[in-house]
Structure 1
Amino acid sequence: MTDEAPEGVRLQKALANAGVASRRVIEQYIVEGRIRVNGRTVTELGTRIDPEHDLIDVDGTAVQLDVSKRYVMLNKPTGVVSSMKDEKGRPDLRRFTKDYDERLYNVGRLDAETSGLLVLTNDGELAHVLAHPSFGVTKVYIAKVQGVVTPQTIAKLTKGFDLEDGFIKADKARLLDTSRGGGAGHSIVELTLHSGRNRIVRRMMAEVGHPVVDLVRRQFGPLHLGTLPAGKSRELTKIELGALLTLSREETPADQAPGDVQEKQ
């Protein structure tokens, strides 16, 4: 935040340009102490900011002042690799970004046979933070697995065990459904993890004796896939974007687990 009056942009103008609210409404927010600049509450209507460097939040939710930034949620289908250009010629993410003027990149990865929520953006800083394994963004997966999962197996997933690259445990695990028809049957398990280790859901379920048949990521941090069909994308709502930016600006990342690498489920 600049202290030199002639420099910068008036706070209410910057927030109005970002689509937060009208200038008059924002002025009321300022007077009520609902807006912070770089973590400090401001109440002066003449406050000026540097939109390129100052961090603004309204009622504790971060605001993106740069309107050139784009944030897209994709329900990645199976058979598509999480790359903008695959060296092996496999179907990649370019088909989902060609209609956008900006050059978008994926935040983290899902392996080719895993479907579900993937964030695409041209905000390199946010992408780096959210994809970094030490930050530990929570993800929720729905896995269809072989065999009938027991309560004891669910307990083992949350208690944890050793894999070849270190100890791992699910933040949460619950059994959604089981079916004993057709031989050994199958189960539907919901797993919540903050680890970004390579193919970690598949490896965990294989370790407890229930190989994954189908895997979908339903949630990434504050974002939920909802009813978005496979192969479709949409821009984040202002509420979703605010929640994602707020998450990315947290000062204390989660502890990095041994062996953590960029996620690839």
Structure 2
Amino acid sequence: MSAENDAQGERLQKVMAAAGVASRRVSEDMIVAGRVTVNGKVVTELGRRVDPTTDLVAVDGTAVQLDTSRRYVMLNKPVGVVSSMRDEQGRPDLSRFTADYPERLFNVGRLDAETSGLLILTNDGELAHVLAHPSFGVTKTYIARVRGVVSPQTIGRLTKGVELEDGPIAADKAKLLQTRSDDSLVEVTLHSGRNRIVRRMLAEVGHPVIELVRRQFGPLHLGTLKVGQLRDLTKAELGQLLTISRESR
């Protein structure tokens, strides 16, 4: 239920300041300037009260997370770690990275044990569902070192589509980054959530993967985050993810 007419709600500028958007004074200026929406409608009066748990606030069209109990973390997952919080077979899992967080975090989607790179950990189930489900079209970009010299024609096959045992699949984008005498670097972008899909596509076109790293997930980039390290998402990154999530509703 919206807090639009609820005297028990909190003042919008106070909630924005608590969420780290800006100071209360700057938040007031944003509201007066018509830069803030609540549930899709521009709000310019400073007396507006909201419920941080249900009302959807955006600044300049970018969603804001008002619920400060939500946590969003980026991990550069190392090779050899399985994408689960507890592995039945006793293999290294993600719990080693989440042990110091008071929140109960879980991973958004999976990377197979041999693949390193960008994995999101959160306690926001709704956001996780949108990001992980292929029907919402959130793309992921991988860099693969593969056996053999990849030709431009092979790159074309990846984007035109290849036939796998569980049906056809095409990359949204594919790019040849480097070739050497016996291996190549290929960048592949796709929104499929199918198991080990990049490895299977590249094997199908005759270039088995030697190493695979996920560099990008939707608007998020791994950047300079070292293998095995974590960091909280920035306000800008989180805003982009929340905007994707809300637009999908």
**TM-score, normalisation: structure 1:** 0.91
Query: Does residue 1:178 correspond to 2:175, yes or no?
Result: no
Alpha-carbon distance in structure 2 between the residues aligned to 1:208 and 1:148: 12
For 1:238-257, list aligned pairs within 5 A.
238-251=235-248
For 1:211-250, list aligned pairs within 5 A.
211-250=208-247
Q: Which runs of 4+ in 1 moved over 3 A?
A: none
Q: Is the 8 A contact 2:31 2:46 kept in 1?
A: yes
Aligned to 1:259: none
* Unmatched 5+ stretches in structure 2: none
Query: Does residue 1:195 correspond to 2:192, yes or no?
Result: yes
Alpha-carbon distance in structure 1 between the residues aligned to 2:6 and 2:226: 50
- Which SS does the other structure have where 2:247 is aligned? coil
Task: Compute the displacement of 1:5 (Å).
Answer: 4.6
1:52-80: CA deviations, max 9, x gaps?
A: 11111101111111111111100000000
Query: Does residue 1:63 correspond to 2:60, yes or no?
Result: no
Q: Is the 8 A contact 1:18 1:65 kept in 2?
A: yes
Aligned to 2:27: 26
For 1:113-152, list aligned pairs within 5 A.
113-152=114-153
For 1:80-99, list aligned pairs within 5 A.
80-99=81-100
The one-letter amino acid of 2:31's match is I
The one-letter amino acid of 1:204's match is M
Aligned to 1:110: 111
Aligned to 1:206: 203
The one-letter amino acid of 1:188's match is L
Alpha-carbon distance in structure 2 between the residues aligned to 1:174 and 1:132: 24
The one-letter amino acid of 2:76's match is N
Q: Is the 8 A contact 1:34 1:59 kept in 2?
A: yes
Q: Is the 8 A contact 1:177 1:188 kept in 2?
A: yes
1:169-191: CA deviations, max 9, x gaps?
A: 111111001111xxxx0100000
- Which SS does the other structure have where 2:87 is aligned? coil
Alpha-carbon distance in structure 1 between the residues aligned to 2:184 and 2:213: 14
* Unmatched 5+ stretches in structure 1: 253-265
State, as a whole percentage, how many aligned pairs show the same letter. 73
- Which SS does the other structure have where 2:31 is aligned? helix
Alpha-carbon distance in structure 2 between the residues aligned to 1:80 and 1:133: 23
Taking only aligned residues, the RMSD between alpha carbons, in angstroms, comes to 1.1
Alpha-carbon distance in structure 1 between the residues aligned to 2:99 and 2:4: 43
Q: Is the 8 A contact 1:115 1:215 kept in 2?
A: yes
Alpha-carbon distance in structure 1 between the residues aligned to 2:6 and 2:82: 50
**TM-score, normalisation: structure 2:** 0.97
Q: Is the 8 A contact 1:136 1:196 kept in 2?
A: no
1:135-185: CA deviations, max 9, x gaps?
A: 2211000000011000000111111122222221111111001111xxxx0
* Paired residues, number: 248
